[in-house]
Amino acid sequence: MIYSPKSISNAVQILQDDPDAQILSGGTDFMVEVNFGHRAPTSVLSLRAIKELCTWSQQDGVIRIGSALPYAQMETGPLAKLLPALAQAARTVGSPQIRAAGTLGGNLGTSSPAGDSLPVLYALDATIIIATATGERRMAVKDFMVGPKRNALSKGEIITAVELPASTGYQGYSKVGVRNAMVISIASACLVHNPIDRSVRLAMGTVGPTIIRASAAEKWLGEECDLASASSITPAICAEFGRRCGDESQPITDHRSTAEYRRHAVSVITSRLLERCAAS
Amino acid sequence: MSQMIKVAITVNGQHTTAMVEPRTLLVQYLRDNLNLTATNVGCDTSSCGACTVHLNGEAVKSCTILAVQADGENVTTVEGLANGNEMHPMQQAFMANHGLQCGYCTPGMVMAAISLVKDIPNPTEEDVRIGLEGNLCRCTGYHNIVQSVLAYAEGK
Ligand SMILES: Cc1cc2nc3c(=O)[nH]c(=O)nc-3n(C[C@H](O)[C@H](O)[C@H](O)COP(=O)(O)OP(=O)(O)OC[C@H]3O[C@@H](n4cnc5c(N)ncnc54)[C@H](O)[C@@H]3O)c2cc1C
Ligand code: FES
Ligand code: FES
């Protein structure tokens, strides 16, 4: 059976009546698994027709992105101006066809440590909004992802939106892969500078079981420089910051890369992100 | 998943409808139900782009969309591009610039290329290469495909 409800409340009700129904958004992970024979759903709940999941809005310094809004809408236009690191991350996902279909809800649903939007959500301390049978619950993204391809979502729940703060400082995303196009990352990172609360927040992807915040390196940086502006960040500080981020990573060796290379790569991209922040 | 579902999809401007199995992919609906066999399947896992069609004007891979998900929507395949006997200018550009050899990737390439130039009206060579990153070609080495798209963008 395929359900195509038009509202969130209908969708939640369907999951009550048919608990085995699996949630389908852009299908860029889901349908690949089906076609490979790795997933054989008995029934499917498609989110495509729920218009409110496919929009975004901004209010009181909070940007709310519907879980089924495709990446293509984050790459350019007003949302890209508000969230430049998310735009950069979105542009690296697959190809134009994948970005026309793939969504944040799906990236979170899959919870791969290589998911390109996830370091951005971590660096911005995103809140995940989840519809449940009894209403709604909100959860910090750091509590959402609990392991590689594992998350805190329970049966019957649907991710409806992601909330992110609007901020003014530098935001950047960087990713290393084996080639430029259509590539799953070997290491990735997002850096967000907030001059108002004098902080830099740094999240790393693909170098641990979940996304990792480089909390110790962030703290060290705050003690070394006055982060009210980026001007006191020197090249030597950038290099040391990258080294410290590498120390906090927990990479593994797999078919895409060795742990050593991942640690090296994440040190290089985190120090470059800080250089870009200093030059901004 | 065996109960049949009715879908109604506008394909190349024509209203079409059929009873399909829930698991039917959009590309299967196009090829098997409508006999529109220009849209090819190269991988069925969203990697090669051979199956690219336009869904409401935007390039998507029809091998990973269910026909049911396109219910009520507008689909264009390469068969829908020509104006009577006159080929679409993008098709003409591929012909004039030898942008194809075996032709297997071509329907998907042409659909992706039209969508690319709609988003970036005056693309650079790099824009074209990046914009076609989701489409693989085993024959041409891409050079003439890129030249075809640039020639189309210049000539339009
Ligand atoms: C060729 C190719 C290249 C790719 N390249 C990249 C890349 O570079 N970077 C990257 O990060 N990813 C990449 N991906 C993976 C994929 O595109 C992303 O993970 C994307 O964000 C998935 O979104 P979707 O809407 O297609 O999810 P779907 O495939 O529809 O769903 C994925 C999972 O999430 C669940 N889910 C979806 N929405 C919700 C919701 N609202 N609530 C609860 N659960 C939900 C589904 O049940 C499913 O388990 C690639 C995929 C392909 C095929
Ligand atoms: S057949 Fe769809 S991408 Fe290869
Ligand atoms: S022309 Fe043969 S695959 Fe492209």
Between positions 84 and 113 of B, the ones with CB within 8 A of A are 112
pTM, 2 dp: 0.94
Q: Which atom of ligand 3 has the smallest separation from the CA of B100?
A: 1
pLDDT band of B2, cuts 50, 70, 90? low
B36-82: pLDDT as tens digits: 999 999 998 899 999 999 999 999 999 999 999 999 999 999 999 99
Mutate which: A42, A97, A182, vs B, most B CBs within 10 A: A97
Q: B45, A41: Cβ pair inside 8 Å?
A: no
**Whole-angstrom Cα distance, residue B66 to residue A101?**
12
Ligand nearest to the CA of A100: 1
Q: Which residues, including other chains, have CB under 8 Å from residue B126's CB and lie 6 or more apart?
A: none
Mean of per-residue pLDDT scores for chain B: 96
Residue A107 beta carbon below 6 angstroms from any ligand 1 atom: yes
- Number of the ligand closest to the Cα of A89: 1
pLDDT in tens, B134-151: 999 999 999 999 999 999
> Which ligand is closest in space to the CA of residue B26?
2
Domains of chain B, each with CATH number or no CATH: 5-80 (3.10.20.30), 89-155 (1.10.150.120)
Flag whether pLDDT at B114 surpasses 80: yes
Amino acid sitting at position A263: R
All residue ranges of chain A with pLDDT < 50 are none
**What pLDDT is attached to residue A178?**
85
Closest residue by Cα to residue A71 from A114, A96, A103: A103
Quote the percentage of chain B above a pLDDT of 70.
Answer: 99
**Single-letter residue type at A130:** I
Contact list in A for residue B23 (CB cut-off 8 A) is 34
Torsion of Cα atoms, A182 then B32 then A30 then A21, to 10° = 170
Chain A residue numbers with beta carbons less than 8 Å from the beta carbon of B55 are: 100
Residue B1 pLDDT greater than 50, yes or no:
no
Any ligand 2 atom below 6 A from CB of B49: yes
Name every chain B residue with its beta carbon within 8 A of the beta carbon of A95.
49, 133-135
Query: Are the Cβ atoms of A100 and B59 closer than 8 angstroms?
Result: yes
Task: Locate the chain A residue with the closest alpha carbon to B21.
Answer: A1
How is chain A split into domains, by residue range?
A: 2-49+56-165, 171-279
B95 three-state secondary structure: helix
**Residues 6 or more apart in contact with residue B114 via CB below 8 angstroms:** B54, B59, B81, B88, B90
- Distance from the Cα of A150 to chain B's closest Cα (Å) equals 23
pLDDT band, residue B156 (cuts 50/70/90) = confident
Is B61 close to ligand 2, i.e. is its CB under 6 Å away? yes
Overall CATH class of domain A171-279: alpha beta
For domain A2-49+56-165, give its CATH number from 3.40.1390.10, 3.30.465.10, 1.20.1050.10, 3.40.50.720.
Answer: 3.30.465.10
How far B55 CA sits from the closest chain A CA (Å)?
A: 10
Residues of chain B with Cβ-Cβ distance to A80 below 8 Å are none
CB-ligand 1 contact for B69 (6 Å cutoff): no
Q: Does position B16 have pLDDT exceeding 70, yes or no? A: yes
CA separation, residue A143 to residues A126, A140, A151, A187, A224 (Å): 11, 5, 8, 21, 29
Residues B22-37: what's their mean pLDDT? 97
Return the residue of A nearest to B56 by Cα. Answer: A100
